[in-house]
Structure 1
Amino acid sequence: MKTCELSVIKYILFVFNLIFAVSGVGLIVAGACVLSDVGEFSHFIEGRLLTPPVVLIIVGCIVFLVASLGCYGAIRESYTMLMAYAVCLLIILIAELSIGIAAAVYKGDFDVTMKNIMKESLHSYNESRADKLAWDNIQSKLKCCGVTGPIDWPPKTRPLSCCHNIREGTPPPQDFHCQDAVPGDEILYKNGCLDGLKMKAESSANVLMGVGIGIAFVEVIGILLACWLASAIKNRE
């Protein structure tokens, strides 16, 4: 009876770890997609906000390796390897929880920090090529103007990327002076870039949270299965 139980647990854990390995690849893909989506606006985002997707990619690689260890330990019926596998999963789970808590704590001053960064960058538009490229990119991509709106730009400094051609749906000609438009003109993007960037960051954060919670649930099951199989092996011996 015990031999039958051992075989059943062993193959359940083996199949589970195959699924777990696939979930590791899923973590890598999710982290890479979020990093690609938000990374193009990294000029306005603190490094701490780009850390979670990077960590998720690293965790995905580790999960894939740990799942391989779990598969091997289950087939070999090695008590030591299974316990090492369970400890690795526990460490990964604690790391994920720590990152989640840190992100939740930092979320409180996220708006203020990013707003200050954007305001400083806006006033350096004409002095810094990096700031100029960053602002032209974010205003064109998110169809926005200024930090909270067009009024943020000092007089006669509003860039062409703040405007659009409402009739043809194409950028206005190069000789058009966007700075001559006043807030409220239809030619100007009305929304500020801060809100658009916040929405994009929050959307990416929700993806990371959803994937993280799902993987954490899978990890708890893996720990329980590994401990169960390790206990069965020890009792048999």
Structure 2
Amino acid sequence: MAVEGGMKCVKFLLYVLVLAFWACAVGLIAVGVAVQFTLNQTIPIGATAVSVVPVVIIAVGAFLFLVAFLGCCATCKENYCLMTTFAIFLSLIVLVEVAATIAGYIFRDKVKSEFEAGFRDQMKEYEKNNSTAEFLDGLQEEFNCCGAANYTDWEHIPLTPKNRVPDSCCVNVTQGCGNGFKPSDINQKGCVEEIGNWLKQKALVLAGAALGITFVEILGVIFACCLMKSIRSGYEVM
């Protein structure tokens, strides 16, 4: 009876965890959409490697939602095969999350280099494309930055009139402030560094949330294995 009572507790906790998985799944999908929107606002189109991040987050969230439904059915029916499948799929999600974290850490420098290359390509289109100009102006104003590494990057970009920077580079943005500018009136920091630091802060928050979700998923695997063992041993869990 002691084992049966213990398994009842495990079964109840597994129900709670399944509800938590559903909440985490919805949260991951929402975060993925938010990350996609944020990247569209801050990362130049050329930074293709970064665009994979929100897709992975949304895919993991959707898969976790389905796995949580499977776990609910397996717990309710006390079915050994369903519970085994649930534990395996949940373990796969944990492995994917760990692998994604490791890959993100390993390729962080490549992402930065792609971001900088994409930003410089966008700068070349500044006077050729109005949407690109609005995009870069918005970034430079929002992050108080100028150019990729610094304001001197604009010296290599043919602007009209010559020897000027976009007005969005100015500390105090006014019409024509980039013409005949003084260095002291221009934001000195480059956008790659400023936006990179901002994204790192967001990534740390995201990593902390992912760590918490992974811990809950590991608990789910452990409880599922305990319940599998009880079902296989022939105990009746009500």
Deviates more, 1:43-52 or 1:217-226: 43-52
- How many residue pairs were aligned? 228
What residue in structure 1 maps to residue 179 of structure 2? 179
Instruction: Return 5+ residue gaps in structure 2 as ranges.
Output: 156-161
Separation in structure 2 between the aligned mates of residue 157 and residue 60 of structure 1, nearest angstrom: 47
Structure 1 residue 133 displacement after superposition: 2.4
Q: Tell me the amino acid that sits aligned with residue 116 of structure 2.
A: K
Q: 2:165 aligns with which of 158, 166, 173?
A: 158
Instruction: Return 5+ residue gaps in structure 1 as ranges.
Output: 166-170
Question: 1:79-130 CA distances to partner (integer Å, 9 max, x unpaired)?
Answer: 1111110011011111112211211111133333322322232233222334
TM-score calculated relative to the size of structure 2: 0.86
Question: 1:207-226 CA distances to partner (integer Å, 9 max, x unpaired)?
Answer: 22112211111111111111
Root-mean-square deviation (CA, aligned residues, Å) is 2.0
Q: Write out aligned runs for 1:4-153 (5 A).
A: 4-43=5-44, 46-153=47-154
Separation in structure 1 between the aligned mates of residue 46 and residue 12 of structure 2, nearest angstrom: 46
Q: Which runs of 4+ in 1 moved over 6 A?
A: none
Structure 1 residue 164 displacement after superposition: 4.3
What residue in structure 2 maps to residue 168 of structure 1? none
Separation in structure 1 between the aligned mates of residue 210 and residue 216 of structure 2, nearest angstrom: 10
Separation in structure 1 between the aligned mates of residue 198 and residue 55 of structure 2, nearest angstrom: 17
Separation in structure 1 between the aligned mates of residue 11 and residue 124 of structure 2, nearest angstrom: 63
Q: 2:206 aligns with which of 191, 204, 208?
A: 208
What residue in structure 2 maps to residue 233 of structure 1? 231
Q: Tell me the amino acid that sits aligned with residue 141 of structure 2.
A: S
Structure 1 residue 3 displacement after superposition: 3.4
What residue in structure 2 maps to residue 195 of structure 1? 193
Structure 1 residue 151 displacement after superposition: 1.8
Separation in structure 2 between the aligned mates of residue 194 and residue 122 of structure 1, nearest angstrom: 12
Q: Secondary structure at the match of 2:192?
A: helix
TM-score calculated relative to the size of structure 1: 0.86
